[in-house]
Amino acid sequence: MNESSSRGFQQSRAGEAFAAEEARKSRLILEARLLRQRQEAEAAAAKFAEAAALEERLGELCEHQGLPEKSFVHFFSAASCWAQAGNFYEAILLCDRLVAEPGVSVLLRTRIAHYADTLRARRAQWYGELVHQSAESS
């Protein structure tokens, strides 16, 4: 096998591995949604967290392959998964990173910024409820 066909084989294998990871991530998200529908919140959160970490890896791979638009989509999906797992901190960090990224389209940047604002509002609401419950138990 010559060098160019060897490189093509490696890229093909990399593409297959990437596609398999994307499929795995999609399955995790579907499983998480089903678990959430069945009121199995902890199991759903675990699946969403696993999917979030996988989405971040996929985003990084896309970055390294020179596919910024695709990386933005994976990172935004990771933010959504982190939020659904209950980790607003990681979700907001990813959103803020994407909003600051110069290559993100205006439409996507607006959508991400709105999502981050929604997460911040929900986090503030959650904090307020925690403070209220702490005051009642004191």
Give residue 13's pLDDT.
Answer: 61
Question: Which residue shows structure tokens 């929604």?
Answer: 118
Per-residue pLDDT at 61 exceeds 90: yes
Per-residue pLDDT at 6 exceeds 80: no
Which ranges constitute the DSSP H helices of the chain? 3-37, 41-64, 68-84, 88-100, 106-137
Per-residue pLDDT at 7 exceeds 50: no
Give residue 110's pLDDT.
Answer: 97
Per-residue pLDDT of 105-136, as tens digits, reads: 999 999 999 999 999 999 999 888 888 877 78
Mean pLDDT value across residues 39-45: 98
Mean pLDDT value across residues 66-80: 96
The enclosing H or E element of 104 equals none
Per-residue pLDDT at 70 exceeds 70: yes
Question: Which residue shows structure tokens 């960090």?
Answer: 93
Question: So where are the chain's domains?
Answer: 3-137
Percent of all residues in the chain with a pLDDT value above 70, rounded to a whole number: 90
Identify whether the C-beta of residue 29 lies closer than 8 Å to the C-beta of residue 7.
no
pLDDT confidence bin for 10, thresholds 50/70/90? very low
